[in-house]
């Protein structure tokens, strides 16, 4: 190798080492179009209310569901107008954080009951005819809420470590008083209830009301 070529190769090598060091320290991952899930802890009195009220709720076995468990009537919260207003306010605040000021309605609402070890292999499901869904936890030791990403990549390279960028499943371990709101299209499931207590939560669906969209995509939800 002549001298000039040797110097050039050496310079390229030095440059590559330098670039590698810079990259390891400075790589920033930009996240476009994330799936945004809102979480907020509600005042203790809300949990106290539902814990007391749960014994008055009638539950029905939901056998046709992919995620079989016991559910209350599908408009349970209509019997509790003050609670309905409270949750609509919380949802409205979450939507404002996401950049929406849309009027909303609660279309369905139900309490869930999952018995200990009742459903070891729940299948993910999503909520149709709904914009956002909310779930509120008012007990200790609720099993995980697990979200599944079905937007699988065409090139399935096995990652060396699990991150939010490559995971197929992401879980939330719900805390008592925690309210979670997620886009209704997101597939999710309740992981097996391994505690000794029946797992309860309050769930509901939200739709926009009034004008949405524009031009030939405009629609008025009433
Ligand atoms: Fe669900």
The secondary structure of the chain, three-state, reads: CCHHHHHHHHHHHHHHHHHHHHHHHHCCCCCCCCCCCEEEECCHHHHHHHHHHHHHCCCEECCCCCCCCEECCCEHHHHCHHHHHHHHHHHHHHHHHCCCCCCEEEEEEEEEEECCCCCCCCCCECCCCCCEEEEECCCCCCCCEEEECCCCCCCCCCCCCCCCCCCCEEEECCCCCEEEEEECCCEEEECCCCCCCCEEEEEEEEEECEEECCHHHCEEEC
Strands 169-172 and 38-41: unpaired
| pLDDT, mean of residues 168-193 | 96
Mean pLDDT of the chain, nearest integer: 91
pLDDT reported for residue 141 = 85
What is the predicted pLDDT for the residue at 106? 98
Q: What is the dihedral of CA 150, 156, 157, 159, to 10 degrees?
A: 20
Centre of ligand 1 to C-alpha 134, Å, is 9
Distance 188 CA to ligand 1 centre (A): 6
* 119-161 residue pLDDT tens: 777 889 999 999 999 999 999 989 999 999 988 778 889 999 9
Name the more confident of 16 and 187: 187
**C-alpha 125 – ligand 1 centre gap (Å):** 6
CA of 71 to the centre of ligand 1 (A): 11
* Residue 219 Cα to ligand 1 middle (Å): 26
The residue-averaged pLDDT of 71-93 equals 96
Question: In this model, does residue 66 exceed pLDDT 60?
Answer: no
pTM of the model: 0.87
How high is the pLDDT of residue 75? 95
Structure tokens at 54: 């749960």
Per-residue model confidence (pLDDT) at position 40: 98
Q: Is residue 174 within 8 Å of residue 142, measured between CB atoms?
A: yes
Q: How far is the CA of 18 from the centre of ligand 1 (A)?
A: 50
Residue 25 has pLDDT above 60, yes or no: yes
Distance, C-alpha 28 to centroid of its chain: 25
Quote the ligand 1 centre to 127 CA distance (angstroms): 6
What percent of the chain shows pLDDT beyond 70? 95
CA distances from 219 to 58, 208, 215 (A): 37, 10, 9
Of the pLDDT bands very low, low, confident and very high (cuts 50, 70, 90), residue 63 is low
Lowest mean pLDDT among 17-21, 75-79, 152-156, 177-181: 17-21
Domains assigned to the chain: 35-212 (2.60.120.620)
Q: What count of other Cβ atoms lies within 10 Å of the Cβ of residue 128?
A: 8
pLDDT at residue 118, rounded to an integer: 80
Q: What backbone phi and psi angles, to 5 degrees, belong to 29? A: -100, 115
CA of 29 to the centre of ligand 1 (A): 31
């Amino acid at each position: 190798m002549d001298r000039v070529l040797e110097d050039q190769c050496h310079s390229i090598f030095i440059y590559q080492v330098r670039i590698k060091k810079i990259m390891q320290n400075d790589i920033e991952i930009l996240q476009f179009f994330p799936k945004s899930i809102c979480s907020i802890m509600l005042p203790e009195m809300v949990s106290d209310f539902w814990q007391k009220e749960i014994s008055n709720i009638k539950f029905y076995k939901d056998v046709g569901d992919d995620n079989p468990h016991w559910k209350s009537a599908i408009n349970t919260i209509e019997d509790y107008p003050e609670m309905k207003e409270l949750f609509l306010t919380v949802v409205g605040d979450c939507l404002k954080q996401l950049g929406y000021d849309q009027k909303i309605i609660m279309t369905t609402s139900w309490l869930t009951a999952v018995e200990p070890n009742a459903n070891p292999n729940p299948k993910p499901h999503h909520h149709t005819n709904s914009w956002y869904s909310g779930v509120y936890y008012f007990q200790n030791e609720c099993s995980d809420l697990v979200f599944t990403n079905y937007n699988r990549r065409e090139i399935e390279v096995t990652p060396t470590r699990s991150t939010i960028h490559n995971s197929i499943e992401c879980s939330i371990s719900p805390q008592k008083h925690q309210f979670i709101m997620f886009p209704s299209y997101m597939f999710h499931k309740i992981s097996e209830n391994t505690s000794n207590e029946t797992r309860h939560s309050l769930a509901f669906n939200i739709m926009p009301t009034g004008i949405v969209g524009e031009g030939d995509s405009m629609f008025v939800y009433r």
